[in-house]
Amino acid sequence: MELDIKPVSKQQNLYEVVAGNLKEAIIQGRLTPGQVLPNETQLALQMGVSRPVIREALRYLQAQGLIHISRGTKGGAVVGSLDSLYLLENVADMIRVRKLKVDHLIQVRQFMEPEVFRLAAENATQEELTAIEELLERTGQEQEVDQKMSLNAEFHMAVSRACGNPIYAAMMSKVLEFTLAFVRTLKPKQIILHEDEDHLIIFRALQERNAPEASRLLLEHVNGLHEQIRSLETTWLQMQADQD
């Protein structure tokens, strides 16, 4: 079976390049979950390297969870699935090949988070509201960009924990992990995606137990983030293209 994979330049670190070429084929869907790769000899011929190089590359991909290797006469390397752990650890790869887009992230937040904030306005305890208010005070005093991003994400997480539905809280935890990984990959060195006042306005609606307003303000806030992160995504992709 002939694979659609680039050959390797002899000047490069061979096993890493072989692994990178195979990984990109998996991410792009040219190699699909469950597909059995050619044997080491066939791969070596196709990619113009030795069998030890292929063997090392396959071990590397196995360690990342991208392939599974079984031994024996019917053994071989089988393409694995891209689970959420892999996505989080390899956000840059997924963005670069357009398997993960800001639109994917924001669609989830637009659908889920307004309901989470509506429920929080109804269900949050006074202790939870006090803790959120203290968190906002800390955020307002923070000057370091990356730490401020973490605190802003924690505001959304704290509200989701206060909504009264532990399943929503668990789901939002994963969504916010993706949000932080996505934004940090795009490296906005000195960019604050929104003003502190944005969260304060939403918090006032929570304090006032105004569930429809909390939901509306949150959706407006997420839509604003969409435009900001999409701009970062466009710039980052152009930089990657210029480097290729």
For the CA atoms of 36, 40, 43, 48, the dihedral, rounded to the nearest 10 degrees, stands at: 170
Range 233-242 average pLDDT: 83
> Does residue 211 or residue 178 have the better pLDDT?
211
111/92 Cα distance (integer angstroms): 25
Look at the domain 91-243 and name its fold: Four Helix Bundle (Hemerythrin (Met), subunit A) (1.20.120)
Q: For the chain, give the number of residues.
A: 244
Helical axes 211-243 vs 102-123, angle rounded to 10°: 160
218/84 Cα distance (integer angstroms): 26
Dump pLDDT digits (tens) for 55-96.
Answer: 999 998 888 778 888 776 666 889 887 765 566 667 777 777
Look at the domain 14-81 and name its fold: Arc Repressor Mutant, subunit A (1.10.10)
Pull the structure tokens for residue 85: 């752990």
For the CA atoms of 174, 106, 189, 191, the dihedral, rounded to the nearest 10 degrees, stands at: -130
Dump pLDDT digits (tens) for 140-191.
Answer: 999 888 888 899 999 999 999 999 999 999 999 988 988 888 888 887 666 6
Could you tell me the residue ranges of all domains in the chain? 14-81, 91-243
Kindly report the average pLDDT of the chain as a whole number. 86
